[in-house]
Amino acid sequence: MNNIYMPHLAEIKEIIDESPDTRTFRLKFKDGDTADRFEFKAGQFAEYSAFGDGESTFCIASSPTRKEFIECSFKVFGKVTQALHRLNRGDTIGIRGPYGNWFPLDELKGKNLLFIAGGIGIAPVRCVIDNVLDLRNDFKDLTIISGARSVSDIIYKQEINVWKDRTDIKTIITVDPGGETPSWDGEVGFVPAILEKTAPSPENTAVILCGPPVMIKLTIPILTNLGFKDEEIFTTLENRMKCGLGKCGRCNIGNVYVCKDGPVFTYAQIKRMPQEF
Ligand SMILES: Cc1cc2nc3c(=O)[nH]c(=O)nc-3n(C[C@H](O)[C@H](O)[C@H](O)COP(=O)(O)OP(=O)(O)OC[C@H]3O[C@@H](n4cnc5c(N)ncnc54)[C@H](O)[C@@H]3O)c2cc1C
Ligand code: FES
């Protein structure tokens, strides 16, 4: 019988040091069959193991349309992320997944998309952006507002430069007040303030919003004031998880399993949950 907790083995093909505390692993499954069968959608997550130290939950940061590698980006936080951070190119990690639901890109075709990200929340958003760019003609105007604590905390600098160079995306990068350098030419201010200043139109526009709970909490009222509907605001919940597939009950909010029913929810769904942001 198959053990549902058995991870697939993947080799770290490349390590990208995104910022002093955040790394991206570019991963390739060791078994060709797994690589062929590993289908996922933007917004899904996986459990990544550092053998002997445990598992951590990260979104799949690469786009499902770019199949050469699976990528995850993680911020060093506790035991497992420290262990993952000690690994080198050529080392092996475990991956279980893909788990959870996804951003409903099929339903969002024909719309403008507003991406709002803060901190490591840019990881799931980057997956959706790259997915959308590979299906560019299916979507209308694209706007990205992404914030980091300081210039050195900005991750995905390479991708951001690609987005900025494109004339068909409006890309706004901001750092928290005090986090700028003398040569910084982006915005300075917290993400909700920059959103308010930018004042994007809600007309035919869906929002993909990921970041720390405090950012989400302060951003939603601004979106609401601008006229965005609760059903058009999609975000992810990052409750602590263990099994990732609806067995252990670690991630529940009331009768909602964040790992299985989420992690992607509309703000309309989140408002109906016992514990909001
Ligand atoms: C669906 C989902 C997607 C995620 N995607 C990413 C991602 O792409 N990149 C990334 O860096 N992180 C992501 N996270 C958060 C990440 O899972 C945790 O920060 C990470 O597992 C911490 O691992 P650790 O073993 O180093 O810390 P641990 O040693 O396990 O924990 C250290 C401390 O932090 C607490 N803690 C750990 N995780 C959480 C959590 N999720 N919520 C509240 N408290 C927590 C623990 O209880 C403990 O007190 C995601 C989480 C979820 C649920
Ligand atoms: S993480 Fe185990 S039920 Fe959700």
For 180-217, the pLDDT digits (tens) are: 999 999 999 999 999 999 999 999 999 999 999 999 99
Q: Which domain holds residue 200?
A: 105-236
109 C-alpha to ligand 1 centroid (Å): 32
For residues 150 and 176, membership in a common domain is answered with yes
Confidence of residue 274 (pLDDT cuts 50, 70, 90): confident
Cα separation, 41 vs 106, whole angstroms: 11
Is there an atom of ligand 1 within 6 Å of 123 CB?
yes
| Residue 200 counted as domain residue | yes
Average pLDDT, the chain: 96
For residues 31 and 69, membership in a common domain is answered with yes
- pLDDT over threshold 80, residue 276: no
Cα separation, 93 vs 8, whole angstroms: 8
DSSP-derived pairing of the beta strands 92-99 and 8-19: antiparallel
For residues 32 and 125, membership in a common domain is answered with no
The closest alpha carbon to 76, from 90, 56, 61, 94, belongs to 56
Query: Per DSSP, which regions of 121-255 are E strands?
Result: 142-148, 169-175, 187-188, 205-210, 233-236, 252-253
If one counts the domains in the chain, the total is 2
182 C-alpha to ligand 2 centroid (Å): 45
74 C-alpha to ligand 2 centroid (Å): 20
Predicted pLDDT at 37: 86
For residues 134 and 69, membership in a common domain is answered with no
Query: Which pTM value belongs to this model?
Result: 0.95
Single out the residue in 83, 99, 115 at which a domain terminates: 99
Local structure of residue 261 (DSSP, 8 states) = H
User: Average pLDDT, stretch 218-241?
Assistant: 96
For residues 150 and 68, membership in a common domain is answered with no
Is there an atom of ligand 1 within 6 Å of 81 CB?
yes
Q: Which atom of ligand 1 is nearest to the CA of 123?
A: 8
What single string gives the DSSP state of each residue in 214-237?
HHHHHHHHHHHHHT--GGGEEEE-
Q: What is the percent of the chain where pLDDT is above 70?
A: 99
For residues 123 and 222, membership in a common domain is answered with yes
| Residue 193 counted as domain residue | yes
CATH number at residue 136: 3.40.50.80
For residues 210 and 111, membership in a common domain is answered with yes
Predicted pLDDT at 184: 97
Cα separation, 115 vs 170, whole angstroms: 10
- pLDDT over threshold 90, residue 96: yes
